[in-house]
Amino acid sequence: MRCFENSAGYIVNHGHYMRLVWHPGERADPDIMEVLNRLLELGQQLGIDRLLVDQGLMSSSSVEVEVWFKYDWLSRARLQFDFGAAAILSSQNLLVRLATMGMLRHLLGWAGTFQIRVFSTGQQQAAIAWLTQHRPQA
């Protein structure tokens, strides 16, 4: 069931996990932030701690959004609602993949049970299988 959508992307509730799909092309910073904030709110409301992020054909974000994501959103997500696992279907855009690697390096220092794994775009079924395991193994 689609829970939220704007010009940046949409969120789907799959019961055991939430799926965030980014729309291709340019996206306005406030719209990106709105989708991510709604994702956090919906995860908290619905008690869903698993996330599938489909970067597919998305374009890179502004530096301001990347900084906000790393130092604001991720911190709030960790403190307010600790996602148990996230699978990322990587973008075909090299700049997006590089930004994702930067985000992953930022997460390396986090302790706890959060797990994250990056899959290529064609590995959707493998990503879902890994994500929906009782305890995913990175």
Residue 4 pLDDT > 60 = yes
pLDDT value of residue 80: 67
Domain locations in the chain?
A: 2-132
Are the CB atoms for 32 and 65 separated by under 8 Å? yes
Higher pLDDT, 135 or 118: 118
Tens of pLDDT, residue by residue over 88-114, are 888 776 676 667 676 666 665 655 556
How is domain 2-132 classified at the architecture level of CATH? 2-Layer Sandwich (3.30)
CB of 19 closer than 8 Å to CB of 42: no
End-to-end Cα separation, the chain, in angstroms:
28
Q: What is the pLDDT of residue 90?
A: 81
CB contact at 8 A, 6 and 32 = no
Q: What's the mean pLDDT in 38-47? A: 91
Q: Average pLDDT for residues 41-66, to the nearest whole number?
A: 86
Amino acid present at 10 = Y
pLDDT digits (tens, 9 = 90+) for 60-99: 888 899 889 888 888 887 776 666 788 888 877 667 666 7
Instruction: For residue 4, list its beta bridge partners.
Output: 11
Structure token digits, residue 22: 């980014």
Query: Model-level pTM greater than 0.85?
Result: no
Q: Is the separation of the CB atoms in 96 and 67 below 8 Å?
A: no
Note whether 95 and 105 are within 8 A (CB): no
